[in-house]
Amino acid sequence: MSDAVGQPLRHDSAEGHVAGTARYVDDLPEPPGILHLAFGLAADGHARLTGLDLTEVRAAPGVVAVFTAADIPGENNVGPVVHDDRLFAEDEILYPGQPLFLVAATTHRAARIAARLAKVEAEPRPAFVTIADAAAAGMDFEPPQIMARGDAAAALAGAAHRLAGTLTMGGQEHFYLEGQAALAVPGEAGQIHVVSSTQHPSEVQHLIAVLLGVTSADVTVEVRRMGGGFGGKETQAAAYAAACALVAARTGRPAKIRADRDDDMAMTGKRHDFIADYDVGFDGDGRIEGIRIALAARCGATVDLSLAISDRAMFHADNCYYLPAVEIVSRRLKTHSVSNTAFRGFGGPQGMMAIERVMDAIAAHLGLDPLAVRQANLYGPGRDVTPYHMRVEDNVAPEIVAELVASADYAARSEAVAGFNARHRILKKGLALTPVKFGISFTTTHLNQAGALVLVYADGSIHLNHGGTEMGQGLMIKVAQVVADVFGVPVATVKVSATRTDKVPNTSATAASSGTDLNAMAARNAAETIKQRLDAFAATQADAPSWSFGELCRNAHLARISLAATGYYATPKIHYDRAAHRGRPFLYFAYGAALSEVAIDTLTGEHRVVAVDILHDVGRSLNPAVDLGQIEGGFIQGMGWLTTEELVFDERGRLLTHAPSTYKIPTAGDRPPRMAMRLWDRGENVEATIHRSKAVGEPPLMLAISVFSALTQAVAAAAPGKGLPKLDAPATPERILAAIAELRAR
Amino acid sequence: MIRFVLDGEVIEVADAAPTDTLLDHLRYRLRRTGTKEGCAEGDCGACTVVVGELDGDAVKWRAVNACILFLPMVDGKAVATVESLSRNGALHPVQRAIADGHGSQCGFCTPGFVMSLYGRSIGALGTEGTPVRDVIAGNLCRCTGYGPILAAGEANPPQPADDRETAAVLRSIAPLRSGPGWFAPRTSDELAALLLEHPDARIVAGATDVGLWVTKGLRDLGTTIFIGDIADLRGIDEDGDAVTIGAAVRYSEAKQALAALHRDLGELVRRIGGLQVRNAGTIGGNIANGSPIGDMPPALIALGAELVLRRGGERRAMPLERFFLAYGKQDRQPGEFVERVRIPRPRASTRIRIAKLSKRFDSDISAVCGAFAIRLEEGRVVEARVAFGGMAGIPARAPACEAALTGKPWCEATFAEAAAALAEDYRPLSDLRGSAAYRLTVAANLVRSLGLERENLFDV
């Protein structure tokens, strides 16, 4: 046995990262004759496109060709589910930043300059940009979805206490450091090879095939690594890859695109902003008896993944809490703005924010400690069925919360915060402990499958391939650890390779935190197939006990034993009836809890997160270093979403914050000076996942809801006794100041 | 042609346009792709390299953003990229610490962090006595949450560097000082003469703003005059009465002198851009570009700074606030240039407060920046200078507020009244950084806060 599993091994590309030798799409050597591409974007929003004069674009220096919808041999679509995402607008411009045409030029700069020279004739149409606009106009992508259990109306009517309220949450830009990029090289007989910075090579392959009118077998998509994804390269990479493929197919020349940051931010979708309305009935201890939650999501101009994202928001509107009688209604609203998309958590964070706000509201109403209200509402024995009728069989939230309360000394910290607030006139502190329960599995059941290809060479070296993509999350090293463990060899023996659609077909996106759960299982199955052959062979060889792994492989090869195998895995147990919103969409849940302490300046609205304590359950960790990295990174990213990261759109749907100069993700200085993170040492998946580990990609992001809740408490401390502040997210200085003013004016 | 030194080798670029960036040259001409483009506007640090110039026998290095550094700006200088660090096959200790400490995830920002921390490890400009978090505040990472990168920085304290080889090569090449469409004069007299000849030429100091006109605006700058190497514009003169700062002095170079004037001024400088921006951007440029939210002008106006402009052999001086005429319009004639700014030392009886408010603490542009210099005699205000950025189309004083303060005792009620007077001084706009209502409210609160006992969020 190797001791690879469970070790805090560093990222397989760590040395390449620090040396600058790890290559991303734009770092690859450029094939001779390469064309550089730039999209021509709609400057204004919703309009009827009446004319597109590209004369000046074509005449610009360096321009080789210009493409529009008319040049697409197949379907003008890069949309994943509903085919409503045009590569280029045809008759209707749906949002500012929508691609209208594509320039291929001899240099990147020439392409960008030319792309701004088009004369666009368009008749402006009314733009519905906000959730309120779209809701009032009835712009629903599908009928409102209802998830219910019990009689919420009766429970609300009968409850001793009842409260209603609203929370608005902004969206979030992914801000992967590597912008969208792709490179296509034409092959022979109409085949094409595309290197794409994508989380979903199979989908890029399929979309390109249909767009070019060829078969999937004609298109190979490859991705070695992304410079960050976070969901932003799940569907959003397709347009860039398709653009390159179109140019390569039409010109016979290699083609590359790399989006300028501003163009990338204008063109690509973001986390959905939401409005959550609640109406909750509860008893004197703050225990919920009945609740109605209405979630409205701003989906943008096309469907993209918005339906599944909104579903996941509903799935997480309970978080860790038992809702005895519940009705969750979700609206998915079309707006004339860039189409929102997957982002770490995939709607889960927005659903969870809603119920955590309810907890704070109940506590404020009853004058209780919000932690007591949260604990009173946790799932527990006899109170363990979710709003979608799934029994929670692995509930460890009460234990994790209790352990964090003790280890972070919540009581003393709470007292210290109260003391601080009594001593300070301008500064106020807030403290909050919030739990996380996040469902693991794609809620679209068929996506829960994976394939792998393991090749053992006669020298004993191992080539590992699977359908998962590396975006920094440490998937490759974790899967390599699992495979090394099967063969009992050092991890370095296992060579990680690029993900390619010609090695493993029909893969799912690397998304939903599922990368390791699915692909490590598939890879283990492939490795075990080979291992069993090797073991069977060795059993027949007297000398086998003295052989090294390499010698074993050499001899097995000479004995004509196959050393290659595919592996496959499909998640068991899961099923879901979407029409009824009932079933078991998740194999299991990942849990965690965080305690955040913040301070605000009540004169300026500025805030600071001063201390964070986290306890998180990753089951039996495959790699504690990677897992802690996901926890810290996820937390800080979630903190950014809820504090400094503000997307501002104008009335035509134009994004005004389209660069890091105006859109502010956390810097090193925003990292709380105290950040105590621990993996829950009793963690173990009750389901038979890979080595009983749990997924870790998304859940920690939602630990940052504790920051928002703590900020809410700090604002409340600025006007004690006035109740729950109307603080919306992100909690910018402006919103904090406004919430204080509103509270004081009550 | 321009020439620069890279890993001991002289790189000659025969066909450099004045606005070709160092980043593009490294990546697409020299195929050094370790240095990344993350934003092309100097806000993410993925393109961080260090640039060195001779300083006597030594080489003075500074970390800068290669994405908005034009090639002529490295003419005659040395450049080191992430590839330079492990040339001998072994990782530099900074690289080792990040790799072993799990400081990279997707790895795309990593070379930039490596170079910022490398800069610190060789004592590059602006790193001395600077906490690691400030050294890397201009580097964005979206994956790690920064903890392991901070730890890697702490584990690699500054060490003396041996730059003899680089210095020797640098001495062997003389800067070329001009090329097709560009000039890089070495004295202000040369600059004055050039500007008379080319009154419409674009003056570029650190290119931290103008760089974006090229990378984002895709503009052709026309004739460009680089002033970053004009020795007599790079001086800081300190005497008993004032600190005088040349137009080409970079923020990092001026920080100490400014911080000595007042703690808040040093703090303001610390929060301008990231270190890479402060290592390139100049106070002269920040004034000359006339940004309505330029962070230095409100503070300098409150302190009573005087601007000296020069055209040919003629100079004129004016209070800084008079330079800003209207949004996008400054009192600068064709052929004229900002030569220096003189900041009088505050008297002991003057109380100063400077506050910058932004969505993010580090490396953000202020929604509102307020600066106050209030002189007291016997407990009463005898002179009040109040200036704000972000409240109007230009950085501007607040006469009604100043009047409301003058003659009054320093107390809560005085500042409450003065705060109310701000509504007469400004009609701010709503934009992506804040609404008009927020700006007015928070500006008034800043005035009010002067009358209250100070509670600093960052002391918590």
Out of B43, B96, B143, name the one closest to residue A659 (CB).
B43
Distances (CA, A) of A456 to A4, A5, A387, B146: 18, 20, 47, 38
Give B-chain residues touching A610 at CB under 8 angstroms. 460
Interchain CB distance below 8 Å, B36 and A24: yes
Q: Are A478 and A516 in contact (CB under 8 A)?
A: yes
B379 burial via Cβ count (<10 Å: 0-12, 13-18, 19+): exposed
Model confidence band, residue B244 (pLDDT cutoffs 50, 70, 90): very high
Mind listing the pLDDT tens digit for each residue in A407-466?
999 999 999 999 999 999 999 999 999 999 999 999 999 999 999 999 999 999 999 999
- Check CB contact of A10 with chain B, cutoff 8 Å: yes
Give B-chain residues touching A21 at CB under 8 angstroms. 34
Percent of chain A whose predicted confidence (pLDDT) is above 90:
99
Model confidence band, residue B340 (pLDDT cutoffs 50, 70, 90): very high
| Residue A560: how many other CB atoms lie within 10 Å | 7
The SS3 of residue B99 is helix
Mean pLDDT of A282-292: 98
Distance CA(A494)–CA(A488), nearest Å, equals 11
Strand order in the sheet with A494-496: A494-496, A462-466, A449-456, A564-570
Q: Which residues are within 8 A (CB) of A366 and not within 5 positions of it... i.e. 6 or more apart? A: A161, A284, A285, A286, A373
- Check CB contact of B432 with chain A, cutoff 8 Å: yes
Q: How many CB pairs under 8 A join A and B?
A: 273
**Most distant pair of Cα atoms in chain B: their distance:** 70
- Provide the chain A residues 705-744 that lie in CB contact (below 8 A) with chain B: 732-734, 737-738, 741
Q: Rounded to an integer, what is the distance from CA A332 to the centroid of its chain?
A: 18
Distance CA(A259)–CA(A425), nearest Å, equals 48
Mind listing the pLDDT tens digit for each residue in A568-582?
999 999 999 999 999
The SS3 of residue A661 is coil
Q: Rounded to an integer, what is the distance from CA A496 to the centroid of its chain?
A: 23
B288 has pLDDT over 80: yes
- Provide the chain A residues 171-200 that lie in CB contact (below 8 A) with chain B: 174-179
B32: closest CA of chain A, how far (Å): 9
- Provide the chain A residues 610-639 that lie in CB contact (below 8 A) with chain B: 610, 625-626, 628-629, 632-637
B2-165 CATH, one of 2.60.120.10, 3.40.50.720, 3.10.20.30, 3.40.30.10: 3.10.20.30
Helix axes A475-487, A515-539, angle to 10 degrees: 20
3-state secondary structure A414-478: HHHHHHHHHHCCCEEEEEEEEEEEEEECCCCHHHCEEEEEEEECCCCCEEEEECCCCCCCCHHHH
Mind listing the pLDDT tens digit for each residue in B81-113?
999 999 889 999 999 999 999 999 999 999 999
Interchain CB distance below 8 Å, B367 and A20: no
Which ipTM was obtained for this model? 0.98
Mind listing the pLDDT tens digit for each residue in B11-54?
999 988 999 999 999 999 999 999 999 999 999 999 999 999 99
DSSP β-bridge partners for residue B311: B314, B336
- Provide the whole-model pTM: 0.98
Q: What is the pLDDT of residue A86?
A: 97
Percent of chain B whose predicted confidence (pLDDT) is above 70:
100
Which residue from B392, B147, B394, B395 is spatially nearest to B268, judged by alpha carbons?
B395
CA dihedral A455, A461, A463, A469 (to 10 degrees): 150
Q: What is the pLDDT of residue B349?
A: 96
Percent of chain A whose predicted confidence (pLDDT) is above 70:
100
A712: closest CA of chain B, how far (Å): 17
Distance CA(B307)–CA(B244), nearest Å, equals 10
Tell me if the domain spanning B350-451 has CATH number 3.40.309.10.
no
Give B-chain residues touching A113 at CB under 8 angstroms. 218
Give B-chain residues touching A471 at CB under 8 angstroms. 106
Interchain CB distance below 8 Å, A14 and B44: no
Q: Are A347 and A313 in contact (CB under 8 A)?
A: yes
Interchain CB distance below 8 Å, B99 and A662: no
**Domain boundary assignment for chain B:** 2-165, 178-344, 350-451
User: Which of B143, B215, B435, B447 would best serve as a mutation to test chain A binding (most A beta carbons within 10 A)?
Assistant: B143
Q: What is the pLDDT of residue B174?
A: 87
Q: What is the pLDDT of residue A688?
A: 97
Q: What is the pLDDT of residue A2?
A: 56
DSSP β-bridge partners for residue A185: A193
Mind listing the pLDDT tens digit for each residue in B136-152?
999 999 999 999 999 99
Q: In this structure, which amino acid lies at residue A718?
A: A
Distances (CA, A) of A620 to A30, A156, A597, A682: 44, 41, 29, 8
Strands (DSSP E) contained in A628-709 are 674-679
Q: Are A743 and A721 in contact (CB under 8 A)?
A: no
User: Which of B142, B412, B445 would best serve as a mutation to test chain A binding (most A beta carbons within 10 A)?
Assistant: B142
Out of A427, A610, A632, name the one closest to residue B144 (CB).
A632
Q: Are strands A35-41 and A255-258 parallel, antiparallel or unpaired?
A: parallel
Q: Which residues are within 8 A (CB) of A691 and not within 5 positions of it... i.e. 6 or more apart? A: A5, A6, A482, A620, A622
Give A-chain residues touching B435 at CB under 8 angstroms. 734
Model confidence band, residue B283 (pLDDT cutoffs 50, 70, 90): very high
Q: In this structure, which amino acid lies at residue A426?
A: I
Q: In this structure, which amino acid lies at residue B120?
A: R
Model confidence band, residue A318 (pLDDT cutoffs 50, 70, 90): very high
Mean pLDDT of A621-626: 98
- Check CB contact of B145 with chain A, cutoff 8 Å: yes
Out of B100, B434, B455, name the one closest to residue A10 (CB).
B100
- Check CB contact of A674 with chain B, cutoff 8 Å: no
- Check CB contact of A692 with chain B, cutoff 8 Å: no
- Check CB contact of B441 with chain A, cutoff 8 Å: yes
Mind listing the pLDDT tens digit for each residue in B190-213?
999 999 999 999 999 999 999 999
Q: In this structure, which amino acid lies at residue A556?
A: A
Out of B114, B431, B457, name the one closest to residue A427 (CB).
B457
Out of A19, A24, A660, name the one closest to residue B140 (CB).
A660
Mean pLDDT of A283-287: 98
B351: closest CA of chain A, how far (Å): 20
Kind plus residue range of the DSSP H or E element containing A552: helix A549-558
Out of A227, A734, A741, name the one closest to residue B434 (CB).
A734
The SS3 of residue A70 is helix
Give A-chain residues touching B213 at CB under 8 angstroms. none
- Check CB contact of B140 with chain A, cutoff 8 Å: yes
Sign of the CA dihedral running A565, A571, A573, A579: negative
Q: Are A560 and A553 in contact (CB under 8 A)?
A: no
> Among all residues of A, which ones are annotated catalytic?
698
Q: What is the pLDDT of residue A17?
A: 98
Mean pLDDT of A95-114: 98
Give A-chain residues touching B144 at CB under 8 angstroms. 629, 632-633
The SS3 of residue A212 is helix
Q: What is the pLDDT of residue B219?
A: 97
A1 has pLDDT over 50: no
Q: Are strands B224-226 and B202-204 parallel, antiparallel or unpaired?
A: parallel
- Check CB contact of A21 with chain B, cutoff 8 Å: yes
Q: What is the pLDDT of residue B161?
A: 85
Interchain CB distance below 8 Å, B452 and A425: yes
- Provide the chain B residues 73-132 that lie in CB contact (below 8 A) with chain A: 81-83, 85-86, 91, 94-96, 98-100, 102-111, 114, 132
Interchain CB distance below 8 Å, B39 and A659: yes
Interchain CB distance below 8 Å, A19 and B142: no
| Residue A424: how many other CB atoms lie within 10 Å | 17
B110: closest CA of chain A, how far (Å): 6
- Check CB contact of A659 with chain B, cutoff 8 Å: yes
- Provide the chain A residues 566-605 that lie in CB contact (below 8 A) with chain B: 599-601, 603-605
B178-344 folds as: 3.30.465
- A647 vs B290: which has the higher pLDDT: A647
DSSP symbol at B334: T
User: Which of B96, B108, B365, B448 would best serve as a mutation to test chain A binding (most A beta carbons within 10 A)?
Assistant: B108
Model confidence band, residue B291 (pLDDT cutoffs 50, 70, 90): confident
- Provide the chain B residues 214-243 that lie in CB contact (below 8 A) with chain A: 215-216, 218
